[in-house]
Structure 1
Amino acid sequence: MPAQSSPHALRPNTPPSTSLQALLDLTGATVATPVTTETIVTGIEQRSNAVRSGDLFAALPGANSHGARFAADAIARGAVAVFTDAAGAALIGEVAVPVLVREQPRAVLGELSAEIYGHPSDRLRIVGITGTSGKTTTSYLVEAGLAAAGLSTGLIGTIETRIGGRRVPSALTTPEAPQLHAMFAAMVEQGVQAVVMEVSSHALALGRVDGVRFAVGAFTNLSQDHLDFHADFEDYFAAKRKLFEADSPIAARTAVICVDDEWGTRLAGELTAPVTVSTVGAVPSGAATEGPAWSRSATSSGPADRRAATWQAGDVQATGGAQEFTAAGPDGELTVRLRLPGRYNVANALLAVATCAAAGVDPAVAAPALATVDVPGRMQRVERGQDFLAVVDYAHKPAAVESVVATLRGHLTEVGHGRLAVVVGAGGDRDAAKRPLMGAAAARGADLLIVTDDNPRTEDPAAIRAAVVAGAHELPATDRGEIREIGDRAAAIAAAIAWARSGDVVLIAGKGHEAGQEIQGVKHPFDDREVVAAALEALQTRHSPQTDSEDLTVS
């Protein structure tokens, strides 16, 4: 694969030249070996095998090893200087290039990277989207709205990175700071005007977005995830909050906050003049209008009434997988149409419209573009002529599983018949507390739940499955359907497909767009969409698609 095909290798063709002295002045670093006035830096990299001639090699301390151990390799590849801490300098010893030493070098890595690449985010309209669920979908919707206004756009996210229409896969939801600023510089060079990016809690906590100047920051929601990384929910919330808090160097100039959950309400209450969006009360005809208690009363720190939100959704009309609703904003109402089903996608779309408006795009221009958006691996239908619906979705958190199951159960209620099968697992080396919650969320709405392997990583797959199964069995038998455990994911998918009959729905949850399954450090090729397609093609008894499954157009 060419170097430029990697999202972490995207760089400007003509990078700025920065004197080493300017970097010393910026960081306050000292020099362990002499610096010459002729030393010029044209890039920065923290992986030795990706160093290019003219780079500053950032040799940072890591969890298992110190980057300074790879300094010799970086210098051999063309690094003109090394940036590290005292421990790193001791490991490096005497070398032929200057060694810059600063305690806690990671703390200034973002600003350092921005300086080396000429502060490219200053020349872009950057929209950052954070939250537990909905970041990817909202990013695609916002990108479509910005492009409809004639802006040349870039997108950085879980599924892919797009620069000037060129698509490359993403390795991280948010790249490390050196790669991120290099990507921004490449975007500027290629004429990009606005960038939409997902901003994960890891990126915020680890400083990956340091040095970025966000025009707009958007918040979707907060639910249980990443508690293997964060100490607790408060720590998780605090990481997300960095995108918005006034004293943060990366704080977005405008904050757009969905206040449909208590965390969004709290965040909005702690900010000065945020734009708020709410879908509370915006339910399809025939749906229950009473939500949980928190949706009907204010928290102590939040707005007194969510109906006072800047943007509100109403008159939701859902037909199969398509839906439309009215978005009421500061300048009146407009109709938003979506190819995406589910109440949560109404929230994502309303947030997208408000975010486009905050970015300077006329909502009346942005809103129609949302009707064209499909999102890979998010409620993505797989059709091979069967007379039932097969859907692949990335839902891998309890709240996301619950929302997707409720959406598909709602479809069955709408058409008046059919059963729902759910295939789900949980990832290894991640928040173990969410595993039984995922089992319960899936079992509560499924006629058949098949617990299988997700990405077990280095853990015992059977132990992970046992936790998910235990959560499912905690529900009374009257509140759940059949529960099976099939470790082999392909076999589990095939079993669900074989179980389905005309008018049923089969949901394969957890991996969505992913093209691999990680087991004991090895990533094996595995794409749920391809496996579902193969299982459907293996069926010999169902050939004619029925109207019920065709009515649900999902992506």
Structure 2
Amino acid sequence: MKIDTLIEICNPLHVTNKVDGELSMCAIDSRKVDQNGVFIAIPGTEVDGHIFIEDAINRGAKVIICEESYYTDQDVCIIEVEDSRKLAGPVAQAFAGYPAQKMKLIGVTGTNGKTTTATLVYQVLTALGKKTSLLGTVHKRILDKVMESKLTTADPVELASDMKQMAEAGSEYLVMEVSSHALHQYRVHGLTFEVAAFTNLSHDHLDYHHTLEEYAAAKKMLFDHLPASSTAVVNMDDDFGATMLKNCKAKVLPLSFDEEQAYVLENTADGLSVIIDGEKIVSQLVGKFNAYNLGQTFLICKALGLSDAEIANALSKAKGAAGRMEPVTAEGDLPLVIVDYAHTPDALQNVLSTLSAVKDASQKLTVVFGAGGDRDTTKRPEMAKVAEEFADKIFVTSDNPRTENPDLIIADILNGFEKLEKVTSITDRKEAIERAIDDASTNEIILIAGKGHEDYQEVNGQRHHFDDREIARECLTKKAGRST
């Protein structure tokens, strides 16, 4: 890229020392700057990128985009702008060759259901022969190639790089989970979504957003920037559904199970049967919350021009996302173990209420859960109240304590219980899972909640291999061996 092209994108306040030659790349991390690269200094939520300008120059940066006046006697161009964070996405897209413009983008936001809905859309489009990629919490997919995903929505430079690979692989569609953090931090700024969907909004991330209203305002940014040519698919049964549509210019496809548009025919342990816009959908997914995920998926695919019948047929075969109501099995007469990512009060209530509704009257329901460290502390006692309402036995344990003392996190959770008779606290998560399975009868359902697809546990800032599904499977196998 030439400097004049970059300056035009930036619309700067001031430019010092225009340089000649080809610019090689851009970075928001000074450690990743190449020779003749561009460093974008962003005021971060924890660290200000402006303090790394000198490091970027020493590593070969030819251009610095920043919000503050900066002097250097080296042959470096300083582009001073009003908001460097908003520019990171457009600049990264330009260096990558504008890959987002070569695909139809589908963005899914909300507290719960993002991963399942995005995964279902990916599975439906792929099943119908559409070349589709996926960016989300569980993983990234470039067509059928799976890669690790560290954030629900990556930073703008990584996002542009991923999109470039997807476009070069021939992707026609890209389905993305879009987090509130990403929206608030302008990580998707400048992208045009063909379809944007809102699943729901409930208690989460208040350590960052402070109030539900601020959290909702961040989600709403996705819909505020939709052009008239796009479509908004919105859950109107959620209290914040109408909020998302204020000032939205896009065509709206609403979803409501409170109206005649959609209703559940059957909800059992074997799956769901629902009607959406007059089309019957039979799915192996379980629970009313998954009825909404199916409805969102149906309307998103409908907005993309697919027929009702082919969407319904593809949904009947779709398995959804890993770590979402995922059964863990072993040979033998054993309790039913379910692993789920539920880590908010609302998500935990969705899963526990579903299991409570579909279980036999004689079955006991056990839950193993904790809460993440360095995150919203107010949801901890709320999760306890949900567990107490639905579960017969409760094991409170560690989740990802991060830099917090896990025992103090557990203490916060325990404060939410009215009575502790059916509650056992075990700090070690592996031990808690083992105890729950060892103590269970064969006619029992055990929900292990909070980590779902994650294959690590973060303790003292370090990630260690830890997979609820692996541990549960080992415990079940041992239990089966002892019973033979």
Alignment-derived partner of residue 468 in structure 1: 413
Contact 2:19 2:62 in 1 (8 A): no
* Pair 1:227-2:206 in alignment: yes
Change (3 A) 1:63 1:320: closer
Q: Distance in 1 between matches of 2:12 and 2:32?
A: 24
Structure 1 SS opposite 2:207 = coil
> How do 1:137-536 residues align onto structure 2 when only pairs under 5 Å count?
137-245=116-224, 248=225, 253-268=230-245, 271=248, 273-280=251-258, 306-307=259-260, 312-328=261-277, 333-370=278-315, 371-386=317-332, 387-413=334-360, 416-471=361-416, 473-474=417-418, 482-536=422-476
TM-score normalized with structure 1 length: 0.82
Contact 2:328 2:339 in 1 (8 A): yes
Deviating more after overlay: 333-342 vs 424-433: 333-342
Q: Distance in 2 between matches of 1:121 and 1:103?
A: 24
Contact 2:331 2:480 in 1 (8 A): no
Deviating more after overlay: 375-384 vs 41-50: 41-50
Change (3 A) 1:315 1:396: closer
Change (3 A) 1:124 1:240: same
Q: CA deviation at 1:150?
A: 2.2
Contact 2:17 2:75 in 1 (8 A): no
Contact 1:157 1:198 in 2 (8 A): yes
> How big is each residue's C-alpha offset from its partner over 1:125-179, in whole Å with a ceiling of 9 and x where there is no partner?
1000001000000001111222233210010000111112111011110011122
Structure 2 regions of 5+ residues with no counterpart? none
Amino acid in the other structure paired with 1:376? A
Contact 1:127 1:195 in 2 (8 A): yes
Q: CA deviation at 1:257?
A: 0.4
TM-score normalized with structure 2 length: 0.93
Identity fraction in percent: 37
Amino acid in the other structure paired with 2:231? T
> How do 1:40-79 residues align onto structure 2 when only pairs under 5 Å count?
40-71=22-53, 73-75=55-57, 78-79=60-61
Q: CA deviation at 1:279?
A: 2.0
Contact 2:63 2:78 in 1 (8 A): yes
Change (3 A) 1:339 1:80: farther
Change (3 A) 1:489 1:365: same
> How big is each residue's C-alpha offset from its partner over 1:361-418, in whole Å with a ceiling of 9 and x where there is no partner?
22322222222223111111111224210111000000100010011112213xx421
Q: Distance in 1 between matches of 2:440 and 2:3?
A: 65
Q: How many residues align?
A: 481
* Pair 1:539-2:484 in alignment: no
Segments ≥4 residues shifted beyond 6 Å: 249-252
Structure 2 SS opposite 1:60 = coil
Change (3 A) 1:502 1:252: farther
Contact 1:426 1:454 in 2 (8 A): yes
Q: CA deviation at 1:98?
A: 2.3
Structure 1 vs Structure 2 CA RMSD: 2.2
Alignment-derived partner of residue 106 in structure 1: 85
Q: CA deviation at 1:357?
A: 0.7
Deviating more after overlay: 27-36 vs 427-436: 27-36
Change (3 A) 1:462 1:442: same
Q: CA deviation at 1:24?
A: 1.0
Structure 1 regions of 5+ residues with no counterpart? 1-17, 281-305, 545-555
> How do 1:8-19 residues align onto structure 2 when only pairs under 5 Å count?
18-19=1-2
Alignment-derived partner of residue 292 in structure 1: none
Q: Distance in 2 between matches of 1:73 and 1:266?
A: 44
Q: Distance in 2 between matches of 1:397 and 1:263?
A: 17
Amino acid in the other structure paired with 1:394? Y
> How big is each residue's C-alpha offset from its partner over 1:161-219, in whole Å with a ceiling of 9 and x where there is no partner?
11121110111100111221222222111110001000011111110000111000000
Change (3 A) 1:249 1:73: farther
Contact 2:108 2:196 in 1 (8 A): yes
Q: Distance in 2 between matches of 1:454 and 1:251?
A: 43
